Amino acid sequence: MFFKPLDLTTALRPALLPDETLLFVQDAVGLYEGKYKIPNYQNGHAYLTSHRVCYVALEDPRKYSVAIDLKEVDRAEYQAGFLKSSPKITLYPKPPKSSLSKSKSAGASPSRGQSPGLLAPRPQIQPVTPKAINATWVCPICSFSNPVPSNFDPSTATASTPIPPCLACGIKPPLATILKAVITATSSRNGPPTQSNPTLSGLGGLVPVNGSRSLSSSDSAQLSCPRCTFVNHPSLTECEICGASLAAAVGALKSTQIDSYRAESPAPVFSHNSIKSTEITDCMKLSFRAGGIQIFHERLKGALIQRKWLLYDAPPVPQQPSQSNAIASPGLTVTSPAEGSVPSPSRSPGVGIAGLEQRGLQARKNNELVIGNAFEDLEALMASAKQVMALAASMRETGMTNGDLSGEANAVLLESAETMGMVTTKDMLGSGAGSLYISELSRNLAEYLTDDRKGLLNKEGGIISLIDLWAIFNRSRNGVELVSPSDFQKAAELWETLRLPVRLRQFKSGLLVVQRWDWSDEETLRKIQTWMTELRQVPPTETVAWDWRMFGRAVTAQEAAQRFGWSVGVAAEELEMAEDKGVLCREEGIEGLRFWANFLSGTSIVGDLGLSGIVLDEVNRCT
């Protein structure tokens, strides 16, 4: 495990990799290497993403920010706070690769290694299945309770899977009986949340587990049988009365040993460590000084189970979804393999219109699958984000060719799909972290504004009214997790204190606008003045009563908006600002309000009959 250098965005947040999503943010976090505090890394934001744990210091974030890849993290332990010690999460690195290879065999179900994609949509299933093996099935003939064989996997079992006969009467049970038994055992075990996680992911298939619920509360010296509740002597491995295995109960008692098993997690390793950074040999800790540890820990565990980084190398869109669908969700109707896996070669390449239509049909089916999967549930949606984005991109392309009417809408769709990964929602932050939400939103906005791909600020002439921005921003969120106007304004007001590259500014009239931090009135004034100079060089289209070489011509807010790409409201404000600074002056007439270069004040006009002229005149007359 290494501390890797971290790229920051303009808003001083970690730059996310493609496909990476932000899961949680917590402020006031400190870093420890082993037992020791790391200097300069004691007060910052911890960002949990689907791929990494990032740390960005509050002071000097460009210098002090690191990331740890989750794929190198073996496990995360929670350590409660005690007196002055804050609660901490300890991250243990994976042992070196060599020791991993041997561990692969035991617990992993065969499907795991083959199709990494399935882990994401249904993460809970895999660790659960091996555990469920120790359910018992009741023989329909003699009603004897038989143990389910340890190598039985409900997700892969078919009619051809060998099933041992009943121990009492010797008759093979129907597959359905065993499946039912396994599933009920699984679901009942999944129930209590306190129990599930530590044992689930840890045990794999190594240790048979019975429902050890009752054990967690029982006295350590004696073991209550999970099946008949008889209290057995701790040295026994099987129940004295009913013969059920007590191994799981023993295992639960010796949890530290079991944890060491967990080190041999069967995860495939995609390792390319950078050597330039320091390695974490023992472990590293995150100290949570302002709460939020529970959610962080929870989501960290979730991320470690989901292993989103495996998706990075997943096959491209059309083939992938059906595959993962077929295997990942045994409960769903399984699509036929011909339809799914690799469509093009299996189809007979049709000729002419029929062929084209066939291909169109095929593409539609694929899209249907992707969309269907995506909306299966939210979990699945996040997992399918990649496909959905690709789909949106392709839709946009077709939209472009079909006609420009829908082009913009599709651009918005694509944009929103892209932003899905980068927005901070209230959901990602701990409860009561109102200010953190605002500051994260503030950073979010800054990123959104300065994103070069969209160039939002540039398109708007470097300045945009807050209300327009609010509308655009919420629109890009596609109707979910909308930002309230008050939150939005608060977030915008924070730019200054967070030293982000955008600023909120209030015009005299109260209009709030957003502009780059280096945007200044002087800059605007210079632009306006250049414009005025230009106007003095171009003869007006119609004859005018004034000397256009000297005065140029009048401009309206609309013209200014057009020239500088501002919105009209902003242009009017900027012109008035220039007037306020004495650069422009106004002319009110039946044509409306127009602005001129200011020839009233200042001494730029030679030969103007000012007071000095009179004095001069006087002198001439008197002499």
Partner 1 sequence: MTTAPPPFQFPPTYSFPPFFTPQPNSATRTSQLQKWSALIQSWCRHHRTYRLTLSEAIESPLFYNAALRKRLSMKDARDVLDWMAKGEEDGGGGGQRAEWLDGSTKTVARIWWKRPEEWAGIVADWVENTGQKNVVLTVYELVEGEGTLSQEWHGMDTDVMLKCLNVLVKRGKAQVFGGEGQEGVKFF
List residues binding partner 1 (CB under 8 A): 545-547, 550-551, 554, 579-580, 582, 585-589, 594, 596, 598-602, 605, 607-611, 613-614, 617, 621-622
Residue partners of 498: CB distance under 8 A and separation at least 6: 11, 12, 439, 442, 443, 446
**45 near 55, Cβ under 8 Å?**
yes
Task: Tell me the one-letter amino acid at 247.
Answer: A
Residue partners of 609: CB distance under 8 A and separation at least 6: none
Shortest Å, Cβ 45 to partner 1: 46
Q: Which is nearer to partner 1, 405 or 611 (CB)?
A: 611
Task: Tell me the one-letter amino acid at 515.
Answer: Q
Selection from 376, 379, 284 nearest residue 2 by Cα = 284
Q: Which is nearer to partner 1, 353 or 606 (CB)?
A: 606
Q: Which is nearer to partner 1, 405 or 590 (CB)?
A: 590
Q: Which is nearer to partner 1, 238 or 617 (CB)?
A: 617
CA distance 129 to 108: 10
Shortest Å, Cβ 534 to partner 1: 18
Q: Which tokens hold the place of 511?
A: 């209009």
Selection from 475, 476, 501, 505 nearest residue 489 by Cα = 505
Half-sphere exposure of 546 (CA within 13 A, CB side): 11
Shortest Å, Cβ 621 to partner 1: 7
Q: How far is CA 324 from the centre of its chain?
A: 22
Selection from 393, 350, 348, 343 nearest residue 369 by Cα = 343
**410 near 402, Cβ under 8 Å?**
no
Using alpha carbons, list the distances in angstroms from residue 31 to 67, 126, 404, 488, 582. Answer: 11, 32, 52, 31, 54
Block residue for tokens 């007590």: 246
Q: Which is nearer to partner 1, 228 or 544 (CB)?
A: 544
Shortest Å, Cβ 605 to partner 1: 6
Shortest Å, Cβ 405 to partner 1: 44
Q: How far is CA 4 from the centre of its chain?
A: 20
Q: Which is nearer to partner 1, 229 or 612 (CB)?
A: 612
- Dihedrals phi, psi of 131, to nearest 5 degrees: -70, -35
Q: Which is nearer to partner 1, 356 or 544 (CB)?
A: 544
Shortest Å, Cβ 18 to partner 1: 53
Q: Which is nearer to partner 1, 332 or 616 (CB)?
A: 616
Q: Which is nearer to partner 1, 213 or 586 (CB)?
A: 586
What contacts 24+ positions apart, CB below 8 Å, involve 257-262? 258/199, 258/202, 258/203, 258/207, 259/75, 259/202, 261/202, 261/203, 261/204, 261/206, 261/207, 262/74, 262/75, 262/201, 262/202
Q: Which is nearer to partner 1, 95 or 602 (CB)?
A: 602
Shortest Å, Cβ 465 to partner 1: 22
Shortest Å, Cβ 595 to partner 1: 8
Shortest Å, Cβ 599 to partner 1: 5
Shortest Å, Cβ 601 to partner 1: 4
Q: What is the largest CA-CA distance in the chain?
A: 142
CA distance 87 to 93: 20
Shortest Å, Cβ 428 to partner 1: 48
Angle separating helix axes 521-537 and 568-580, nearest 10 degrees: 90
Shortest Å, Cβ 563 to partner 1: 20
Q: Which is nearer to partner 1, 423 or 571 (CB)?
A: 571
Using alpha carbons, list the distances in angstroms from residue 57 to 27, 145, 212, 470. Answer: 9, 59, 43, 29
Q: Which is nearer to partner 1, 282 or 617 (CB)?
A: 617
